[in-house]
Amino acid sequence: MNLVVLMRMVPDVVEELEIASDQKSLDQEALRLIVSESDDHALEEALLLKERHGGAVTVVAPEAPEAAELLYTAAAKGADRVIQLRGIQRGLGVAAMAEACAAALSAIPGLLPADLVLTGTQSIEDLDGLVAPLVARRLGWPYLGVVTAVSDVSNGAVIVVKEFQAGYRGEFQVSLPAVLGVQAAEKPPRYVPVAKVRAAMKATKIEEFEAPQPAPEPLQELAIVALAKPEAAGHAEMLEGSVEDVAGKLCELLAERGLL
Amino acid sequence: MAADIWVVADQWQGRLTDITFEALALGREVADALKVPLEAVLLGHGCASLAEELGCADVVISVEHPALAEPVPETHAQALAELARQRQPRAILIPATNTTWGANTLLAALLDVPGVNFAVDLKAVDGALEARCVLYGGKIEVRVQPRKEPVVIGLWPGARPADQGRSERKPCIEQASVSLAAEPKVRLKRYIEPEAGEVDLTRQDILIAVGRGIQSKDNLELAEELAQALGGEICGSRPVVDQGWLPLSRQIGKSGLTVKPKLYLALGISGAPEHVEGMKDSAMIVAVNTDPHAPIFNIAHYGVVADALELAPALAEAVRARKG
Amino acid sequence: MHQAAPAVATATYDITLENLFEYPEGRRILTCIQCGMCAGTCPYGEVMDYPPRRIINMLRAGELEKVFASESLLSCVACYACMAKCPRGIRLTEVLLPLVKEQVFINLPETPSELQKALENTLRYGNPFGESSRKRAAWVKTAGVPIRILSEDPRPVDVLWFVECQNSYHPRGQEISRATARLFHALGIDFAILGNEEKCAGECARLLGETGLFDTLMDYNMAVFAKYKFNRIVTSGAHAYDAFIYQYPERGFRYPVEQTTPFLGRYVDKLRPLLTRKLPYVVTYHDACCLGRHNGFYEEPRALLKAIPGVRLVEMVHNRLNSICCGGGGGGMWLDTYYKAKGYERLSERRVKEAIATGADVLAVSCPYEISRFEDALKVLGYDHKMVVRDVTELLAEAMEA
């Protein structure tokens, strides 16, 4: 199978997010970027499919600080080809970026035709769109999101499991080629020893590709009024003291409600 | 050119979902503020009777088509696009559920108009539409105004109480038709039922929920002991299920169950929107987290900044002592 | 007397499985007489498919691949017991085991998830907890004494205190750090910390077989050390101590280095008059593997404890050379779930039972892993009302209070 995985860097919420003084973006100084979690799952699913069905996995990432590490790690995990897209702005909002990535995918030599483009089903900064359906529409391919398993590749179609609600899932048949938004891979993303990543840094060539011009401006269709830290409609009454103190207070509260 | 506010009805297993009514309640407010009609859009095949329940809207646009029988977001987006081109609404609210996932983005792309995700509120500000969206796992809010209309809004659960969107009124029902591709490229083959959990968590009075903060499967014991002491059951957020520490039948949140117990004790759960939507209506929410800024404290009734691994056993002991 | 880097330090770093027998340490492995002392003394001996004796057997037979395919070496907690008892003086834990475990780790079909998370966090955030590096020095604010952070005040200093991850982020570890800071202050030590620039020394990653992670951290730490002027390093981390003594010289590390407990041990006469508060505790001391068995620091912690008025020392059955590991080394800190799933007894529980048997009120420790592991074990076994766990520095600081 010829598999393409689109992976991006997004702000790492382990760090405190600060808002820039103009209130219309995040303070870049305070930011650290990390691979979007469900993109990691998309890569894992692609690698599992390659292990089962053979073929090749190509990872494509828009340029960003630490994106090179993302690509070397993907190579160390088993990606055959890793490509960095230049000229695409990273930031709040993804619609423009997704369009540019889709255009790039069509233009990168030897990339298409592919069977599947996999990417995360969502990211934490998808203000104005989701990447997977936008790429699908640009390529003219079918799309399905919230995917948790891919199997049974045959007769130009693939069986895909999607999550619904209340623990229900659905089995869908999707014609190939298609774009899938992966919620969770069938196994958690694998660990790769650092030595292997360091070896990949020496052995792997990251291909650089200039995204087709002009690079679209992010968030052209939405005017940002302001960013803010959520002002809670309410806030919990905080219980202080040692764990024993708190345990006692909680028991009182529960008893008051007849729960004890 | 019409300037109506549209709410697209979301269905699950032949019934309208709560979020549909939440969206109607929100749509009603915005439509009234702008003095325009509120219209509900009902897509499906053999579900036209559901239109009667959408009385909060002034008009229900009811579309029946065999291709709409299956919950395929791109098919639904195409139908909506055709309707929108004909009728030119001002805003289209689509409940953001797993069922509809991606439909709002596709619709916006088909119409070449702005799409907005993770919206938790919408209002009219000096005649302009303004959406409030929650990003970064619940840590940052963004207020946006579309520069072009219609705007397609993916509405997150919890914007308004569902009951506010229910109405006894009989709406005006309009039949409409769309032309869709005969052979969709995405077909639902079958539903996969959840593994029979021994317990129906939605009927439990007391739930002890564990999240990433529980750190390892090992520590589940602490939660289980506490659940036992309190006479409740354990459940978990997505990361805990993804790791295989709890089965999918115990997942609370977007892909899992929605619960409203008398007590929801969240141990080591940060409060990301995907989880919160599954438990926000619990009668009493107690959250334990080492991070004082965890979003869960915004929706909990009581909060404790502490290590859940320490509090859980202390609480279990206190409960046992009290029960005698 | 400052502990200088042993002469053999640089010799072990370059040893690989391919060039093993070009080194005297490698050739010594072949002198194994298959006595089985290693297997017998290994705390997980009964579950270890390949104790050192069998590894050496397979090495001789040219069948080392079989060892690499066995997961049981994940249970090795790098406690140095086998190496300490080997009658041939084979550098088992120092030379053979890391090389073999590196291959075992690479060949694991699936990495246990808690361990995977700890390693990924350490690479990304410099600590296994996955907390922001910007919070590493947060504990300083409530230390109660001034603590200089070199990035804010880069003037030359006598002692660089390498605090290490557990004692920076874990609530109990932070209490130990505050106690340590108060002691340093009382002794008039000129010290400073790296604060948020500090990252894990990486020793447990190395002992587990994640040598790439260790190298990355070592390169990073060496670059940070080069930014500042200091005479020596004192570290709270027992494993960090080992890393600095035995591995970092490979990158040119030449600073004298001590772990906190032996360091304070040299000041016992100066401390004694400051220890004015009587602590009427019966205390049993647990010898940490790195400090004790590996480096011979048995008497210094005991001398410190005896200096506290009111303290009566009792010994566990297994003490000094024979101490039983708490189970935290070699990755064990993040494998409790994995061991539990396999039905192994936790070493910390085994050890705590011995401590309880002495009748002591206090279990004194000096390695940062031990605090949380033994406190957990006491809770699990239901002994947490009978005994508390205290770091030696905590007891000293407590005795210092008016």
How does pLDDT run across C364-394, given as a tens digit for each residue?
999 999 999 999 899 888 898 899 999 999 9
pLDDT of residue B2: 66
Looking at beta carbons, which pairs linking A155-159 to residues 24 or more positions away fall under 8 Å?
Answer: A158/A115, A158/A116, A159/B189
Ranges A193-207, B71-85, B287-301, C226-240: which has the least confidence? B287-301
- Can you tell me the distance from the alpha carbon of C19 to that of C246, in angstroms, rounded to the nearest whole number? 19
For residue C198, which of C231, C143, C244 has the smallest C-alpha distance? C244
A105/A100 Cα distance (integer angstroms): 9
Size of the A and C interface in Cβ pairs below 8 Å: 39
Report the percent of chain C where pLDDT is more than 90. Answer: 86
Alpha helices for B214-285 (secondary structure H): 220-230, 238-242, 273-276
Instruction: With CB atoms and an 8 Å threshold, state whether A181 touches B101.
Output: yes
Cα–Cα distance list, C86 to C50, C82, C83 (Å): 16, 6, 5
Q: Express as a percent the part of chain B with pLDDT over 70.
A: 99
The token pair that represents B222 in the structure block: 């602490």
pLDDT above 70: residue A232: no
**Chain B interface test: which of C379, C383, C385 (most B C-beta within 10 Å):** C379
CB contact under 8 A, A130 and B206: no
What percent of chain B has a predicted confidence (pLDDT) above 90?
A: 80
How many Cβ atoms sit within 10 Å of the Cβ of residue C222? 14
Residues of B in contact with A253 (CB under 8 A): 284, 286, 302
**A141-184, pLDDT tens digit by residue?**
999 999 999 998 888 999 999 999 888 999 999 999 999 999 99
pLDDT band at A260 (very low <50, low <70, confident <90, very high): confident
SS3 content of chain C, % helix, strand, coil (to 5): 55, 10, 40
Mean pLDDT of B8-35: 96
Beta bridge partners of C235: C162, C259
* Model pTM score: 0.92
Tell me what pLDDT residue C14 has: 85
Instruction: Give the pLDDT of residue C402.
Output: 65
Chains that touch C (3 or more CB pairs under 8 A): A, B
Edge-to-edge strand list for the sheet holding C388-391 = C312-314, C282-285, C362-365, C388-391
pLDDT tens by residue, B171-202? 999 999 999 977 889 999 999 998 777 788 99
Q: Does residue B215 sit at the C interface (CB-CB below 8 Å)?
A: yes
How confident is the prediction for chain B on average, in pLDDT?
93
Q: Which residue has the higher pLDDT, C7 or A51?
A: A51
Q: pLDDT tens-digit profile of C159-206? A: 999 999 999 999 899 999 999 999 999 999 999 999 999 999 999 999
Quick one: what percent of chain A has pLDDT higher than 70?
98
Give me the pLDDT at residue B212, please: 87
Return the H-helix or E-strand segment holding B16: strand B15-16
For residue A216, the Cα-to-chain-centroid distance in whole angstroms is 20
Residue A49 CB neighbours (<10 A): 23
Residue contact B313–C114, C-beta within 8 A: no
pLDDT band for position C11 (cuts 50, 70, 90): low
Q: What's the mean pLDDT in B89-116?
A: 96
Count of CA atoms in the C-beta half-sphere (13 A) of B265:
26
Checking if the pLDDT of C12 tops 80, the result is: no
Contacts of C341 in chain B (CB under 8 A): 217
Given pLDDT bands bounded at 50, 70 and 90, which one contains residue B112? Answer: very high
How would residue C2 be classed by pLDDT, with cut points 50, 70 and 90? very low
pLDDT above 70 (res A233):
no
B256 vs A contacts (CB less than 8 Å): 165-167
Which chain C residues touch B218 with a CB distance below 8 Å?
Answer: 336-337, 340
The CA angle C318-C320-C326, to the nearest 5 degrees, is 65
